[in-house]
Structure 1
Amino acid sequence: MANPLSYRPKTGEIPTNPGVYRFRDEHGRVIYVGKAKNLRARLTSYFANPATLLPKTYAMVHTAASVQWTIVGSELEALQLEYTWIKEFAPRYNLAFRDDKSYPYLAVTMGEQFPRVQVMRGERRKGVRYFGPYTAGAIRETVDTLLRVFPVRTCSPSVLKRAQQSGRPCLLGYIDKCAAPCVGKISEQDHRQLAEEFCSFMAGEAKRFISSLEKQMAAAVAELDYEQAARLRDDIIALRKVFERNAVVLPEDTSADIFAVHQDELEAAVQVFYVRAGRIRGQRGWVVEKVEDLEPAELVEHLLQQVYGEESGQRDADDKIPRQILVPEMPSNAEQLSTWLSGLRGSRVEIKVPQRGDKAALMETVESNAEQAMKLHKSKRAGDLNQRSLALKELQDALGLQMPLLRIECYDISHVQGTNVVASMVVVEDGLAKKSEYRKFSISGAAAQDDTASMYDVISRRFRHYLQEQQERAEALASTEVTYEITEEGIEAGSKSKFAYPPNLVVVDGGPPQVAAASRALADLGISDVAVVGLAKRLEEVWLPNDDFPVILPRSSQGLYLLQRIRDEAHRFAITFHRQKRAKSMTASLLDEIPGLGESKSKTLLKHFGSVKKLRAASVQELTEVKGVGPVLGEAIHQALQDAQAAPAVNMSTGEILET
């Protein structure tokens, strides 16, 4: 660890202006971003007596190797610049509001030809409208009830394709819980309108639909059509059941997000209730590790900045930042936050602390949820953290390594009978996968002859990039006499590395040959501080360079289990990339063999559909929509793609057939 005194700037050199500062590690990576009204007061606090610092603050200042700052003209500029840098650099020591569990959303894929209603988790996707979050049981009951009135497609793409080919709908189509657009029972335009009505109902227009159905029922009764009237009555009951499931907690014109925070010295739990049209439409929670000793007001500021900043680009008309945001403590820069959020929303956003009445009572309920979430997190995290720490310590001891295994990279090679050779690199930091730093490689030429040559090529390319970035960074630092800066301008142009800092351990999928190839690649580049091991799949043996006998870890070892999970993840990532590449090359080859289809039309086809997957799934009618493709040629293309049989994928290290 670095000594903070080695890079501490002189107090007199730090300005007293408002600004944004960054701590960087020895590899030049930004590890923390913060802002301050008075940069001198804030920065000098980091270099105080180490005994007074929080554990995570202590770790951060001892990991850092330099500090930089940029002065700005106002607190609003500091807020915007801080958020921009946090989003750009993803500093590992900044507060990261991660869900304490994966919340399901009710999603409608309006970007598809036949929109689909489904339950989704994780990151939001383009062309999809989201409602929620909900609990898993409630969301499925809601969908099942609404399909009676809005029979929108819910089937997977494979089921839809099978129904289109056979001309027979799935079970839901027979029991009237799907309008069956796959077989033409409803037109594409009418089905999309049905999906729009489903979204409108979920967006809060329930009363309009219920009122319309009541009028239709009254008209059916007047015409003595009692069967239709009975069906409409049941539809009304179904819609009311969904509509009344959420109790009215505030006046119906209320649109607000209500936040509460419960924290201790090291962590904070956050809960939010989403209230729309006076009803609780969803709930969500986060737990974060604190870097600084933040007051509740400061924590609220970071929370609003991250939550609404990250989601602003993903929100649609039915999922806006609300008119009111209710918080337990008013941030010191509430006016600047309100201005920033109003700009994201497009209209006025009010930040308030409820003092009395229904809103204050609901705030107490949210606070109770935050307290319970913290208790649950503490009990669960104790087990997870202990297991990860035990696995890393066991692995470090078994391999005889001096440095803690803060970062591990694993590599795997896959191909199809010597063609389309690819490799994967997966990254684990502190025992957890870091998918943002996964990398994939295409291998060709002499490097694709066998698995050892491929492994040598991949390791060489990865660490050659690292050495090049190190040289460029050293040259940049050599051109200045100080490690911190003062600028009057806004955002400094930052460059993201293709690869982050180097790992403590490289894991390869294979035995002695693969380990020797990886070790030789590092030696040829002059890198001696990165350990290399191989995990042989047959007996799960751990091989070290130049050792005649493997390291045998107990089957119950947490260290072995960690290696297996890393290897399996690299295996999965390599296969996924390999299949994509193989499908693309195979489709291009098939297109070349179709009479009447030249290179120009092949490129036009691929450009029109956007991906190989969509081209293979296209019907003859869709193919003929492409310029230059007539019915005869379209039929030939469709038949060739349908008749193509994929060759099995093979892992080069083991010869194992991955798929048939």
Structure 2
Amino acid sequence: MDEQMLERLKAESNTLPLSPGVYIMKNKSGNIIYIGKAKALKNRVSQYFWRFASHEGKVRKMVENVDHFDYILTDSEFEALVLECSLIKQHKPKYNILLKDDKGYSYIRVSLQEEWPRVESAKQVADDGALYLGPYISSFAVKETVDEAVKAFRLPVCSRHFPQDIGKGRPCLNYYIRQCCAPCRGKMPNAEYRELVDNAVTFLKGGYGLILNQLQEQMTVFSDALEFEKAARIRDRIAAIQKIRERQKVVSSRVEEQDVIAMAGDGCSTAVEVFIIRGGRLCDRSSFLFEFMQDEPAARAEFLRSYYSQIKQAPPRVTLDGPTEDKELIEQYLSGLAGRKVSITVPQKGEQAALTAMVRANAQEKLNHLSQRPAHGEKVLDELGKLLGLPGRPAYIESYDISNTAGTGVVAGMVVFADGKPLKSAYKRFAIKTVEGQDDYACMREVLSRRLARLKEAKEKGQEAGEGFGRVPDLILLDGGRGHVAAVRPVLEASGFDIPLFGMVKDDKHRTRAIARDGGEIAINASRGVFTLVSNIQEEVHRYAIAYHHKTQQKRGFSSRLTLAPGVGPARARALMKHFGTMEKLRAASEEELAAVPGMSRAVARTLKELIVQGDLI
């Protein structure tokens, strides 16, 4: 991100009030790209710009595209949440979690406004006076549920119109196979028919226990009154409902109505799975796939707001596989949508914990299935290999970037992508040792020289395997153009290793544009998969190098402050930082622990501890 732009946004964010409200991020074209809510606008918005280097995934991409922002003050954080949901639905910003709109859902329609109502599936809600149940994500589940209801209560599915067609013909086959009550015969009172429909509605809403109890009572009444034919019809209806219920997969015997939501991520993508349980059975499910989201509690909160603002209703319980931000606020918001209390729970043990584990396993399976598709794995790597003229698929890719501030605090980062995904256990960091000032080419030569020396050492010891410095990469990508490639090429050739080497070129907006080689550039925008992979690699190595640079600069600043203490010179300051690692641990150390650091004395440790306690030093 442009430094001047970042500094301007930092300054602007510092002028925001410490009040609740909604912030609206916009790009250079004035288009809204993200909408969020905050308890304190200044604190929340400034985090995006002051902590830019630590962001990952979609947050970093969003911030890189911010040109300016607006905000709307509200009286409370809850009002901000409601306004946020409304604005997101209205503007559909690119970097918010967006779900498909109501056109993708299905409904159960009960034409209660008619004298002889019908139960059927519907794609949209019409203003026709009918009762609509839903929405449901799965149209198949809706059709199956409607089919179960009409069979259990023997409701008509034919094209005849009642009461116009009553008594105008013989009943259809469904009557003779006992799947229709045949109002067309003219022998069923309307009140009895509407009672069947009412029972079906109760059944569709998941009230299995209630409807079975009602039917049992009716059957007993008819039997006691010696109306055995009516009692037999009720008995058959009870048997049909029990048969349907036995066919369903029961996943919760204690919680009758709940949505169970779980997520799984692989570093590149995040899958969210929703199991909809009504009447103690799994009646519907839905799956969503998003770009990688680092902060799971924040991701859960954003998903809940987006999902239920589309669904417009929530069950009494929403069960999650982990904590969510703004739990109380979201409960209040969902309760308002549902018109009754809605609670959010995160079970730790027992049946509910096992249920969330099952839903999470389904989310993980979604990710596994995605990673096995050629378009997301082998096919993309094959395309990259062919594009670069490699002998095979580059399954193990290393990438390098240099980071510094005006030639000071120069460091480098190495990231690894295995099978197209980040392999963070193999990441490495380098503090530049031989280069003074700002010379990216020389720094890159030093880093690759040290890396290849470690590879040669591993080879001589017979340790070539697994990951890290002991494995020969299939491809090396430098964050830089032809100059970087030309500078590093001699180092690679001198090492004796035949490893393909290329650079990653950015445009004037710091976005990946092409792959650099010794003689020119290779366009990659013709293949979306290759372009996405290379962009992700370049973004990740840049983030990793900058994060390491900021960490070293912070530690260097702490170390220089330690030298202000009497008796603490540069050598003792370095020893202290090396021993404790962080300023937090150093602050918490006792006088004895300070004195135990190599090179320290008891007197200097006592003085240092006094300054720390007084707050005069760190």
TM-score (ref. length: structure 2) = 0.50
1:97-147 superposed Cα distances (whole Å, 9 cap, x missing partner):
349x977654434455643322345x5555333268597776655544543
Larger-gyration structure (1/2): 2
Match of residue 96 from structure 2 = 94
Is the CA contact (8 Å cut-off) linking 1:24 and 1:32 kept in structure 2? yes
Structure 2 residue 381 is the aligned partner of structure 1 residue 364: no
Alignment RMSD, CA only?
A: 4.6
2:45 and 2:200 map into 1 onto residues whose CA distance is: 53
**1:375 CA drift (Å):** 2.9
**1:196 CA drift (Å):** 1.8
Match of residue 203 from structure 2 = 201
Structure 2 residue 153 is the aligned partner of structure 1 residue 150: yes
What SS does the aligned partner of 1:347 have? coil
What SS does the aligned partner of 1:10 have? helix
1:529-562 superposed Cα distances (whole Å, 9 cap, x missing partner):
xxxxxxxxxxxxxxxxxxxxxxxxxxxx99xxxx
1:201-226 superposed Cα distances (whole Å, 9 cap, x missing partner):
22243344434544565677678877
Match of residue 333 from structure 1 = 326
TM-score (ref. length: structure 1) = 0.47
Tell me which amino acid in the other structure corresponds to 1:341: L
**1:235 CA drift (Å):** 2.7
Tell me which amino acid in the other structure corresponds to 1:346: G
What SS does the aligned partner of 1:360 have? helix
Matches within 5 A, 1:69-218: 69-98=71-100, 106-111=108-113, 114-120=116-122, 124-125=125-126, 127-130=130-133, 133=136, 142-155=145-158, 160=161, 164=165, 167-168=168-169, 171=172, 174-175=175-176, 177-179=179-181, 191-214=193-216
**1:50 CA drift (Å):** 7.7
**1:93 CA drift (Å):** 2.4
**1:195 CA drift (Å):** 1.9
1:624-651 superposed Cα distances (whole Å, 9 cap, x missing partner):
xxxxxxxxxxxxxxxxxxxxxxxxxxxx
Match of residue 296 from structure 1 = 296
Change (3 A) 1:114 1:65: farther
Structure 2 residue 265 is the aligned partner of structure 1 residue 263: yes
1:54-99 superposed Cα distances (whole Å, 9 cap, x missing partner):
4644554455543112344443232222112112222232111349
Change (3 A) 1:103 1:29: closer
Match of residue 32 from structure 1 = 34
Change (3 A) 1:29 1:375: same
Tell me which amino acid in the other structure corresponds to 2:34: Y
Matches within 5 A, 1:552-571: none
1:88 and 1:361 map into 2 onto residues whose CA distance is: 38
2:286 and 2:237 map into 1 onto residues whose CA distance is: 31
Change (3 A) 1:161 1:93: farther
1:165 and 1:234 map into 2 onto residues whose CA distance is: 25
Matches within 5 A, 1:410-425: none
Structure 2 residue 9 is the aligned partner of structure 1 residue 8: yes
**1:336 CA drift (Å):** 2.1
1:128 and 1:245 map into 2 onto residues whose CA distance is: 27
Change (3 A) 1:93 1:172: farther
What SS does the aligned partner of 1:129 have? strand
Match of residue 425 from structure 2 = none
Is the CA contact (8 Å cut-off) linking 1:246 and 1:280 kept in structure 2? yes
Is the CA contact (8 Å cut-off) linking 1:105 and 1:120 kept in structure 2? yes
1:158-179 superposed Cα distances (whole Å, 9 cap, x missing partner):
x649985994477366545445
What SS does the aligned partner of 1:8 have? helix
**1:238 CA drift (Å):** 0.8
Structure 2 residue 343 is the aligned partner of structure 1 residue 350: yes
Matches within 5 A, 1:135-534: 142-155=145-158, 160=161, 164=165, 167-168=168-169, 171=172, 174-175=175-176, 177-179=179-181, 191-214=193-216, 231-246=233-248, 249-250=251-252, 252=254, 254-289=256-291, 293-312=293-312, 315=313, 321-377=314-370, 382=375
Is the CA contact (8 Å cut-off) linking 1:148 and 1:235 kept in structure 2? no
1:37 and 1:282 map into 2 onto residues whose CA distance is: 35
What SS does the aligned partner of 1:80 have? helix
**1:370 CA drift (Å):** 1.4
1:110 and 1:327 map into 2 onto residues whose CA distance is: 36
Tell me which amino acid in the other structure corresponds to 1:89: H
Change (3 A) 1:23 1:146: closer
Is the CA contact (8 Å cut-off) linking 2:258 and 2:315 kept in structure 1? yes
1:381-401 superposed Cα distances (whole Å, 9 cap, x missing partner):
9479x99xx9xxxxxxxxxxx
**1:295 CA drift (Å):** 1.4
Tell me which amino acid in the other structure corresponds to 2:86: T
2:194 and 2:235 map into 1 onto residues whose CA distance is: 25
**1:306 CA drift (Å):** 1.9
In structure 1, list runs of 5 or more residues that go unmatched. Answer: 316-320, 391-556, 559-660
1:29 and 1:154 map into 2 onto residues whose CA distance is: 50
In structure 2, list runs of 5 or more residues that go unmatched. Answer: 384-525, 528-618
What SS does the aligned partner of 1:154 have? coil
2:215 and 2:35 map into 1 onto residues whose CA distance is: 55
1:186 and 1:83 map into 2 onto residues whose CA distance is: 49
Tell me which amino acid in the other structure corresponds to 2:257: S
Change (3 A) 1:43 1:142: closer
Calculate percent identity across the aligned residue pairs: 30
1:37-62 superposed Cα distances (whole Å, 9 cap, x missing partner):
44345434544798765464455445
Is the CA contact (8 Å cut-off) linking 2:85 and 2:305 kept in structure 1? yes
Tell me which amino acid in the other structure corresponds to 2:82: Q
1:272-303 superposed Cα distances (whole Å, 9 cap, x missing partner):
2233444434333322335xx44111111112
Is the CA contact (8 Å cut-off) linking 1:163 and 1:182 kept in structure 2? no
Is the CA contact (8 Å cut-off) linking 2:22 and 2:72 kept in structure 1? yes
